[in-house]
Amino acid sequence: MTAPLICPSILASDFAKLGSEVAAIEAAGADWVHVDVMDGHFVPNITIGPDVVKALRPHAKLPFDVHLMVAPVDPWLEAYRNAGADILTVHPESGPHLHRTLGRIRQLGARAGVVLNPGTSLSVLEDVVELVDLVLIMSVNPGFGGQSFIDSSLRKIERTRALLDAAGSKAHLQVDGGVTAANAGACVSAGADALVAGTAVFKGGPEAYAANIAALKAA
Ligand SMILES: O=C(CO)[C@H](O)[C@H](O)COP(=O)(O)O
Ligand SMILES: [Fe+2]
């Protein structure tokens, strides 16, 4: 089994030192930088605007994987793309026309992701599978880091893997929320190839990042 891509969520980093935190996870072996954008409306938390993404962009060469928890999402796509996002991932609930939104993301030259909350049916994916480069399965309800992994997510990852394979899709299958070295192996066995981890990467401070990332890759 190939090692999964590790996408540290900077939500769990030291916000007073975001630039050096992004550089540190790149040096520690991360594959993508996962940026959680929250608007205090779609989810009960407020985090990172496009100007912050723009300011962080020079601090790492890694792809910026921007998880948009914003509604309505369409007016923000271009701003985050121009700020340096390589992947823009949207919730189906964050706009009226998911098909149009995904098409717009690709038109902007970014990779398009769709993210399914624990309570969102996988059937949403069936009609847009040809427009997605990434499917993100939420293994917690979005809004906060540091929550516990919802075990039923494993079955959903398996079902998503089956749907992608049946459609001949090469989209990445990413998992987000409560991912640790203890459950990373089960996520990959279920079919995930990319793992978002906030707490599990940033715990212990910069000296621990390389070992934390290696533990997730090895799990
Ligand atoms: O999208 C998110 C929350 O909405 C975060 O990416 C996620 O919670 C990561 O943090 P942790 O690994 O600590 O659970
Ligand atoms: Fe996220």
Which ligand 1 atom is at minimum distance from the Cα of 38? 4
Q: According to the model, what pLDDT value does residue 60 have?
A: 98
36 given a catalytic annotation: yes
Q: According to the model, what pLDDT value does residue 1 have?
A: 72
Number of domains forming the structure of the chain: 1
Distances (CA, A) of 159 to 90, 123, 131, 173: 20, 10, 19, 11
List of the chain residues with pLDDT < 50: none
Cα–Cα distance between 145 and 36 in angstroms, integer? 10
Tell me which of 36, 65, 133, 193 is the catalytic residue: 36
In angstroms, what is the span from residue 145 Cα to ligand 1's centroid? 4
Q: What is the pLDDT of residues 193-217, one digit of tens each?
A: 999 999 999 999 999 999 999 999 9
Domain residues for the domain of 175 are 5-218
Q: According to the model, what pLDDT value does residue 199 have?
A: 98
Tell me which of 39, 133, 176, 193 is the catalytic residue: 176
Contact, 84 vs 57, CB < 8 A?
yes
In angstroms, what is the span from residue 198 Cα to ligand 1's centroid? 6
CATH number for position 172: 3.20.20.70
Cβ < 6 Å from ligand 1: which residues? 9, 11-12, 34, 36, 67, 140, 142-147, 176-179, 196-200
In angstroms, what is the span from residue 31 Cα to ligand 2's centroid? 15
Closest ligand to C-alpha of residue 13 is 1
Q: What is the pLDDT of residues 93-122, one digit of tens each?
A: 999 999 999 999 999 999 999 999 999 999
Cα–Cα distance between 62 and 75 in angstroms, integer? 25
Contact, 25 vs 209, CB < 8 A?
yes
Closest ligand to C-alpha of residue 139 is 1
176 given a catalytic annotation: yes
- Does the complex come out with an ipTM higher than 0.85? yes
Task: Please tell me whether 14 is known to bind a ligand.
Answer: no
